[in-house]
Structure 1
């Protein structure tokens, strides 16, 4: 997530420069053919091009609205995870009795931090429809670091789970799911020992169910892409419009005076760049967990939750908050 005021124009141009090169070629070729080779017949009336542009604008606007909704829903889900995590911390500390030398509170709270860790690693796994592997996104990735890509889940989980629990969790495909399962098992054991009141036990189990619900919502966004038919028609319409724009501008600029037809090149580039940029912005927003610059900052939010929960245990040696790198917070 970008936490600066805006993306610097130079970064945005660097991100879109390949498309700008393509647009320049698509604009220069018809202008040269029209002016130097006197191929006046290649000029197209502006009306049909405007109709294509209108359709492209509608479909781009629709896509960007829907991809923003996906990103905003993801942010709401993680906001709920933050709230439920804090509720888990206070309920564990205040409603569960601790036996001498048992460290029950620490076990339950650390295991929850382990769940957050496993969940964010799962959400950062690549999917075939995601865009982080595209060349322009790989280049822009030099501005930030994705902790889940450079670190190992095994190293992270070892801080919060026992060796036996870590081995069990790592043997499963959906690690986060089974960490919640371990939490439920532990609560049942504590209830059988009389360390949890029956009503408190029910409330804690309901909180685990709520965490499962939030995890499921994250998985729905992660595993169901923005429908490919809409993504495809959006790209087709924008590319078609970019190709047609210079052909429609030739006659219009020629009417302004001799040699002014060359204005087709800069204005054609600007118009096409606007549409192409809107399409790319929507593309970069549609997968809010893939590890891009516009992702929901789940790493930072997990660290915030970890600090809050460990402070509830009165710990003083805490990890520092995640800081943005080049205004990108992961």
Structure 2
């Protein structure tokens, strides 16, 4: 996720890097192609009008308006996915902090067994958050999960088809064990189990977003229409604005191609593009919070953006 102060008016026009928030690095080949094609069309229209005729620009206005509406609708749907994913991770932050506070009930019970049960549950919660990041954004870092798991559970974690859910089952088993040992009352167990259930709901909701993309046919239709429109547009500009047509076509192409590309990035909020969610940074924040709740003092600093990007 791009994290930066809002630049000034002049700086807004000078931001060209992808980390700075510009779509230009991803779409400039298409823009240059449209501008080059526009220049050739103007040249051909002036020297060989019988082969490169001009076209009434009226229909392009109507198509452009319709295309803008559909692109805006798609981007709104993609942003809604991005924002829902961010809210889910915000709920996970809350649930983990609440769990760390609720398990304080175990302190001082069972001649040290309660404190150990609390440490086990909170440590497994750290492993759950780390495993959820790997589940949504596959990559390195599995050792950060394994070091938080009991040695006997590591093989089961490696075999599991859903590692975060496997860890939630470990948390549930540890709480059931604490209840059987008399470390928790029925009401206390139900309260903590409700928080663990909330963590499971976050997992299922994140899987729903990851496994249910925007219908591909809808994205394909808009993608094709945007490209066809931008490649045909110079024919409507050639006779009316002459050599300004490449500039006008380039501006229109920048807008439509940029919106199309931005929608692609927002559609997958758990990816690794600069506009995706910083689930790794959020997981690191939760880890630091829970380690502090366990009384640890040798903690790393909270994650900070690098080149304006927080991942």
What is the TM-score of this pair, normalised by structure 1?
0.86
- Aligned partner of 1:266 in structure 2 is 247
Partner of 2:119: 106
Matches of 1:5 and 1:50 in 2, distance apart?
36
The answer as to 2:307 corresponding to 1:296 is no
Q: CA deviation at 1:41?
A: 5.2
2: distance between equivalents of 1:40 and 1:235?
Answer: 29
Question: Over residues 166-207 of structure 1, what are the superposed CA-to-partner deviations in whole Å (9 max), with x where a residue is unaligned?
Answer: 221111010000100011111111111101111111111111
Equivalent of 1:52 in 63, 75, 86: 63
Offset from partner CA, 1:70-106 (integer Å, 9 cap, x none): 1010111111101111000001123463543762221
How far off is 1:29 after superposition?
2.3
Q: In the aligned structure 2, how far is the partner of 1:188 from the partner of 1:283?
A: 44
Three-state SS of the structure 2 residue aligned to 1:317 is coil
The one-character-per-residue Cα deviations of 1:123-167 (angstroms, maximum 9, x if unpaired) are: 013xxxxxxxxxxxxxxxxxxxxxxx3x331x1112211221122
Query: Is this contact kept in 1: 2:44–2:52, CA < 8 A?
Result: no
Cα RMSD for the two superposed structures: 1.7
Farther-moved stretch of structure 1 (209-218 vs 158-167):
158-167
Q: Map of 1:105-254 to 2, 5 A cutoff? A: 105-125=118-138, 149=139, 151-153=140-142, 155-253=143-241
Task: Tell me the equivalent position of 1:80.
Answer: 91
Q: What's 2:102 paired with? A: 91
Contact 1:98-1:105 within 8 A present in 2 as well: no
**Structure 2 Cα separation of the partners of residues 179 and 161 of structure 1:** 8
2: CA distance between counterparts of 1:80 and 1:239? Answer: 40
Distance 1:266 1:100, change over 3 A: same
In the alignment, is the contact (CA less than 8 A) between 1:245 and 1:272 conserved in 2? no
CA distance in structure 2 between the aligned counterparts of 1:267 and 1:115, rounded to whole angstroms: 52
Output the CA distance in 2 between the equivalents of 1:94 and 1:191. 12
Question: Any gaps of 5 or more consecutive residues in structure 1?
Answer: 126-148, 254-260
1:15 CA displacement: 3.1
Q: Which runs of 5+ in 2 are unaligned?
A: 7-11
Structure 1 pair 63–186 and aligned structure 2 pair: CA distance change class (3 A)? same
Structure 2 match to 1:10: 16
**Secondary structure of the residue that 2:277 maps to in structure 1?**
coil
* Separation in 2, partners of 1:5, 1:234: 32
Q: Distance in 2 between matches of 1:294 and 1:199?
A: 43
Q: Are the counterparts in 2 of residues 31 and 264 from structure 1 also a CA contact under 8 Å?
A: yes
Structure 1: distance between partners of 2:306 and 2:26: 17
1:27 to 29, 33, 38: 38
